[in-house]
Structure 1
Amino acid sequence: MNLKKRKKQEKYRLVKELRYNNGLSIQELAEKFGKSERTIYRWLKQLKRSPDSGNCDEDETRGRPKEYPQEIFDEIRKIKEEVPQRSAPLVRRIVKRKFPTNYPSLSTIRRYLREHGLSNGGGAPRKGYRRFARDKPNELWQIDIAGVQTVAHLEKLYLIALLDDSSRFIVGARYFASEKSTNVIKVLRSAITKYGRPREILADNGTQFRNLLGELGTRYTRLLEHLGIKPIFATPRHPQTKGKLERWFGTVRQMFLIEARHTFKQHPHYSLQDFNRMFHKWVKWYNTEKKHRGLPGNVPPAEIYLNSKKRIYRPLKSTINWDKWLYQTSQRKVSKYNEISYKTEKFKIPPGYCGSRVKIIEYEDKIDVYYQDTLLITHPYQPTIKSLNKQKKTRKITNNGTISYKGVQYYIDYKLSGKTVEIQEANLGKDLLIYLDEILLKKVNK
């Protein structure tokens, strides 16, 4: 008998003793235990209404658990073994797609995985924290950058997200190849344009939000001041201040990232834009369909954010010149071939400026080239990630920690000797990506 059931039986016996030995009324018992009179009656009924009975026949009153076809559990095992990192909620979501009318509950799937040694296991008991939440949607947003996440040939990615504190609704989220401050502003622009301006935004003390001295004056804080939004900052080294967003990052890792890594490993030609399209589809599901245990009635976040009469709505009253906040500048010297090199690409410059230094302003989809204050030329520009060779090969790590690929030895790690890794070529064969259990282990220059 588990601890939870034992405590329940002890409580039922105490109610019986107080009722029959001490003569307490049903009303007095209800007040003492903080329950309704109907609940007290039910507790006594579960003890068969007998003063001498010491058994709790709770299991008999609940009926037999529902049975499911064996093929469903075979599918659960197959899904889990295919990608062992998949969590029970993610496994249930995949099973639901294949068996939409007859699928097990989350607790049944967790029990099956645990009984068959497929569970990822639980951590140590966690310390409790005091809950807080703003009363009105758009009163406070939280913004943060998740730690670096590696995804197949896309390598290192950074997730920047904005969450409404009252409803847990994700007002903006997107993956980027870097965590620079202009990417933060892109997410802000998307969220504010679509949902209006919040009163406050809570951020941590990263350099994207504060300068290196921990003071205000960054592009981020100047933009918020320009928009009439108050920036507030979390206590240093205390991530619990943004606990809702940190917890959501965990949900992304458990319910999206594992599946996305598996998909992108199978499709090495997919781009970052493809990844974000897949992610935005998942975010829409999270906002509108996933039930949230931290919200009243366990409703999805959109139910509260979009339908609350308390929701604050402050749309932009005038057009914002977002380019002013997003561009980056740099300088280059024009070659004798009337070209400049910028981020590994060559761009033509009109004749007559050979040897001169020009100023480059990079926007989201173009670059402008200036000589002093004169615009020379505009080039379309969209950074791209080079695709991989689709061919996959495996190698076994030797006792000295190396693998052999096309006649060349590459050192991996002697601690991983005996492990089988998967190899994919990147950057037109110039780099090798080494995977272990679908996680990028190492990038090697050939």
Structure 2
Amino acid sequence: MSVTKAKMQKLRGEIAFMKENYPGLKPNFSAMSKEIGISRQTIAKVWKDPTSPSKPRQKRKSKFDPYYQEIREKFEIQSTTIKAVFQYMKARYPEVFTSYDSFKSYVRANKLTEVREEYLKSHVRYETEPGEEVQIDWKESIQFTLSTGEVIEFNLFAAVFGYSRYTVFIYSRTKTTEDFIRCMIELMIRTGGVPRSFKTDNMSAIVSTFSGQKRKLPVIRQFEKDIETPIRLCRVRQPQSKGKVESANRFVSWLEPYQGELSSEEELIETIEKINRQINQESSRTTGYPRVLLMKKEKEHLRPLNRIPLLDSYLKEADTQKVPATLLVNYEGHGYSVPKKFIAKRVKLIRIEDELQIYYNNDLICTHQISDRPLNYKNEHYLDGLRDSIEPKKDETAEDYESRIQKKAEES
């Protein structure tokens, strides 16, 4: 109830009481006006006829009225702020949308903030907790012209983390089932973990149609088991359930200014990665925070990648090496040590961000931070190796022997 309506109800109540209990007494309209906060003329009118309805106030016309539907749609489409809608409308109609305060009053007078609240209520089920869900999709058949005149047709695998809105684009010439799995593995390795679920539409790379029913391909069902995470399919005709990744696809338009400017496919891929970084450094309109900032929190809730060698079986190129007597396996020209017991055994090397993980028979045996040093020995590996080359002296105690090895290691 508005303040004015409450005052009028109080006035009518007082006048009705006075007329019933003091029929011959006329009140002091000026004193009542000061007490209640209603004009003397209005009080006199109500005194004359307490039951007369108030004259409906005519709605004032606003310069924003012709744009009402467009303004309303902005609140319906996106859970945004009054300020954001004003800036959008100001950019489109600068001669009309000049005052933010006037616009804010118009929005509130027309209860457009309630439209926004209804939007938030009806879409709250699609907001996710950290690490809960990643939405994935293909942006298909993008044509890009190089400076040489060559036209490249490619696809972008797009993934959006539900909580942080952190976005990952992966370039792919084709979009086969093998491409889908490769991109999924690259996504998990890039971000360093696995969410509780993935969500996508009924893309042909993961489903087949039999007797009118769509079923996941056997290789996809096995892949789900290997990553220990379900890939959920969106319900038909409910695009809002996959809205985060479809919103991310709009960023592909950022590539358009580069048409005819890049000289090679490699430069195109580098540009996509640059745009990807820019997207994640910007604030999401929904959360109000930079995606890369919220991703730090989301990473804490991702399940560790502890079955990477098994996933490598899906890929043709896996970095497998036989451990030499030096205990050092080679990664990008730098040596990284493994425990002595794995000499002559074959191990797999997997890089996750700035960490090198080394596996034997699907078991993680050690990790190293990626380094520019030519040789990267863990202290315990190096000491273990020295014991093979340094014999204990006669009558030397175990403590003295270990001390001598430690000293030798420090001198090296």
Question: Which TM-score band applies after superposition, normalised by the shorter structure?
Answer: 0.3 to 0.5
Length-normalised TM-score, structure 2: 0.46
Largest Rg, 1 or 2: 2
Q: Greater relative contact order (Cα 8 A, min sep 6): structure 1 or 2? A: 2
Point out the structure with the larger helix share: 2
